[in-house]
Chains A and B, each alone.
Chain A
Amino acid sequence: MTDPQITLYRLQACPYCERVVRTLDRLDLEYRSRYVEPMHSDRNVVKRVSGARSVPAIVDRNTGVTMSESANIVEYLEGTYEDAGAEAGA
């Protein structure tokens, strides 16, 4: 099993995380889910990778991009992969 290039830091049943998941699925992108603590102050791993403790956060090793905030992430994913899909997938 090769590791997916995209890692999603998420919280169970967090609507903003689900929004990112829907986008990842729609774009047919593979990703690894890392579930973190509900307790905001305990999410040091997210802080280390993204600079903030908020989820969702993604790390995309294809592009070296790390990003928080679901609206930003969705915009980034669509901008990076929606049009590129045709080329990259070909």
Chain B
Amino acid sequence: MPEFDVVELPETDHVTAGETAPEFTRPLVGEEFWEDRSLSDVVDGPTLLVFHPMDGAFQTTYVYNEIDDRGWADALSVYGVSISSPYEHKDLLAERGDGVRVFSDPSAAVVEAYGVAHDIDGMAGITEARPAVFLLDGDRVVRYAWVGSEHPSFPDYDAVESAIDDLRD
């Protein structure tokens, strides 16, 4: 890894393993259209919920590249969440995130509910998501949680993958 100038983010009271993932309804964007969907509508088995910074930020690009490289969307349902608009999500999905659908949360209310907010420095009025990964079982119970505590930061992909393997066994 190249050396980053890493900023510590404030501690956060985020959703952790064992809790039920908070319910929400937001436009869910696929490659062809978007429509309001609730989390409980779409979870019917192992599900990976990936919060990420705004579409276009390099962290977001890297996270989707890794999801694609590892073929996670073939193994389980994968949903992204960011504050970007449905139009931006469509552009993102045209390039990467094969098989992934992305919730649009411009108000960051879902981001806040999961305790993964990041008030981004130098962009007044923008609260976005830190990178965060929640692995849910079919009952929406969180089985693995990781929330970035530095900026920038990336999930421990191997740890996520082994949690996915454990859940699917």
A residues contacting B by CB (< 8 A) are 1, 9, 32-37, 43-45
CB of B32 within 8 A of CB of A35, answer no
CA distance A36 to B41 in the complex (A): 21
Nearest-neighbour CB distance to chain B for A61, whole angstroms, equals: 15
Residue among B32, B36, B40 with the most chain A CB within 10 A?
Answer: B32
Interface residues of B in 78-108 (CB under 8 A from A): 86, 90
Q: Please provide the 7 A-B residue pairs with the shortest distance between their CB atoms, ordered closest to farther.
A: A45-B32, A34-B33, A34-B35, A36-B33, A35-B34, A45-B33, A32-B35
CB of A33 within 8 A of CB of B35, answer yes
CB of A35 within 8 A of CB of B38, answer no
CA distance A1 to B41 in the complex (A): 7
Number of A-B contacts defined by CB within 8 Å? 25
Interface residues of B in 29-65 (CB under 8 A from A): 32-36, 38, 40-41
B residues contacting A by CB (< 8 A) are 27, 32-36, 38, 40-41, 86, 90
Q: Which residues of A contact B40 (CB under 8 A)?
A: 1
CB of A1 within 8 A of CB of B38, answer yes
CA distance A1 to B42 in the complex (A): 11
Nearest-neighbour CB distance to chain B for A44, whole angstroms, equals: 7
Nearest-neighbour CB distance to chain A for B71, whole angstroms, equals: 24
Q: Which residues of B contact A37 (CB under 8 A)?
A: 32-33, 90
CA distance A36 to B87 in the complex (A): 9
Q: Which residues of A contact B38 (CB under 8 A)?
A: 1
CB of B32 within 8 A of CB of A44, answer yes
CA distance A43 to B31 in the complex (A): 10
Q: Which residues of B contact A35 (CB under 8 A)?
A: 27, 33-35, 86
Given contacts A34-B35, A45-B33, 12 further A-B contacts (CB under 8 A): A1-B40, A1-B41, A32-B35, A32-B36, A33-B36, A34-B34, A35-B27, A35-B33, A35-B35, A37-B32, A37-B90, A44-B32
